[in-house]
Amino acid sequence: MTKRTVHAQAGKKDLLDIATLSRAEVERLLTSAALLKEKQRCGIPHPLLSGKTLGLLFQKPSTRTRVSFEAGMNQLGGHALVLPMGEIQLSRGESVADTARVLSCYLDAIVIRTYDHAIVEEWAREATMPVINGLTDLSHPCQALSDLLTIREKKGRLKGIKIAYIGDGNNVANSLIEAAAKMGMVIALGCPAAYQLEQHIVDRARVEAKKTGAMIESSQDPHIAVKDADVIYTDVWISMGREREHARRLKVLAPYQVNRRLLHCAKPDAIVMHCLPAHRGEEISAEVLDGPQSVIIDQAENRLHMQKAILTNLLGNRSRTKR
């Protein structure tokens, strides 16, 4: 079972996946991120989290997630503390429960980037501070939220916009389908049979789609998926932890490369998105990734502004309680 965003027992909020956010909560995050972005670009200080400390515990490598949270927390007037796995007692067998309870005495929130989604759920159960999912094998909510910000900036709206997700049905795809369903969008999945999205994620998204008017389409033909798309989205074929499957994945996914030919099937003004890091020549051609329809740098920049919105939402009105 996926844990609720609002932790009833501790009266705190966590961000573990998109599905547990309400549409109104997503809208507030988008509005907040846009305002914080404008302040940043105008050079207006916004120390909204002065005196707060954020922990960053990453069991997987990270560039955008780590740096955007660290820089974002600093820009908000707080402090970000990186906790290398090899330098804390978790690496020597201390339990998550003990670690979470102790760190809750020191920190105001923590970002967890790990493999098994059950680990962030355990952290959220045990910690009395907010827990943010910085990526698991199941989902990447912070990425999907910032992607909504980018799409709204480029297309002026979310409702009715069609996203075509092409390639490996991975954690990013899981969060994107949840986000699209939440916001009344159209999402078309073009994934091979061997690499489909998690079925329970799709089923849950379809239930949400009935409430919002969203549409979820699925095809094993990428050309069908991208027809009339406003957004074409792809991600690496070999995610962290899947390196042993490299040769097989390259063979199966080769027809799913986002290239100039595939781009012609979408709307003429379609934008191309990739959460990075990218492998040019594999999931996407260099001419498309670096071409005029690519918005990957804007997309990456928006990670910073959305992380700040997430942090202010979770910590802005929260004072540390006695433990």
Q: Which residue has the tokens 């799709």?
A: 202
Residues in contact with 169: Cβ distance below 8 Å, sequence separation at least 6, in sequence order: 189, 191, 195, 196, 197, 198
User: 66, 140, 152, 305: which is the annotated catalytic residue?
Assistant: 140
In angstroms, the CA 83 to CA 96 distance is: 14
Phi, psi (rounded to 5 degrees) for 179: -65, -45
Query: Does the annotation mark 168 as catalytic?
Result: no
User: 249, 303, 305, 307: which is the annotated catalytic residue?
Assistant: 303
Phi, psi (rounded to 5 degrees) for 239: -75, 165
Query: Does the annotation mark 293 as catalytic?
Result: no
Phi, psi (rounded to 5 degrees) for 20: -90, 0
In angstroms, the CA 124 to CA 291 distance is: 41
Tokens of 54: 């954020």
Query: Does the annotation mark 157 as catalytic?
Result: no
Count Cβ atoms within 10 A of the Cβ of residue 125 and give its class: 0-12 exposed, 13-18 middle, 19 or more buried. middle
Alpha carbon 322 to chain centroid, angstroms: 32
In angstroms, the CA 84 to CA 58 distance is: 7
Query: Does the annotation mark 290 as catalytic?
Result: no
Query: Does the annotation mark 143 as catalytic?
Result: yes
User: 75, 143, 299, 307: which is the annotated catalytic residue?
Assistant: 143
Q: Decide if 190 contacts 164 (C-beta within 8 A).
A: yes
In angstroms, the CA 14 to CA 136 distance is: 15
Lateral strand order in the sheet of 271-274? 215-219, 186-190, 162-166, 231-234, 271-274
Name the nearest CA neighbour of 140 among 235, 12, 4.
Answer: 235
User: 64, 137, 249, 275: which is the annotated catalytic residue?
Assistant: 275
User: 7, 66, 113, 274: which is the annotated catalytic residue?
Assistant: 113
Count Cβ atoms within 10 A of the Cβ of residue 24 and give its class: 0-12 exposed, 13-18 middle, 19 or more buried. exposed
User: 235, 249, 257, 299: which is the annotated catalytic residue?
Assistant: 235
For 291, other C-beta atoms within 10 Å of its C-beta total 12
> In the 8-state DSSP scheme, what is residue 322?
P
Query: Does the annotation mark 280 as catalytic?
Result: no
Catalytic residue annotation: 113, 140, 143, 235, 275, 303
